[in-house]
Amino acid sequence: IPRALTRIRRLLTVSRIRDWGYRVVLRPGVSGVDPRYPKIVEIDQDYVVGQRRDEIPWSVLVGLVCHELGHSFLYH
């Protein structure tokens, strides 16, 4: 996940989007953003630390986190 987060920070910087204090949390279950807590982006931990067959490539992880950050940014 460090590689994906580095890439995401670089994409946000290039897009001139300032850091709004978001946090990425690995949790069991589904990925998403709770509108009540928009700064917390939850990512299903199976995508990152699951069995080899469950893990996704880091480039797909970048896309997933960016997608969820979009929700976080809009809720924020």
The answer to whether position 15 is within a domain reads yes
Handedness of CA 70, 45, 62, 60 (dihedral sign): negative
The answer to whether position 69 is within a domain reads no
Only one residue has tokens 């990512």, namely 43
How many structural domains is the chain composed of? 1
User: How far from chain centre, in Å, is Cα 17?
Assistant: 15
pLDDT at 58 (0 to 100):
76
**pLDDT tens readout for residues 52-72:** 665 678 788 888 888 889 888
Q: Which domain holds residue 9?
A: 1-25
Q: What is the pTM of this model?
A: 0.76
Structure tokens at 45: 């931990």
Nearest Cα neighbor of 73 from 11, 28, 26 is 11
For 11, other C-beta atoms within 10 Å of its C-beta total 14
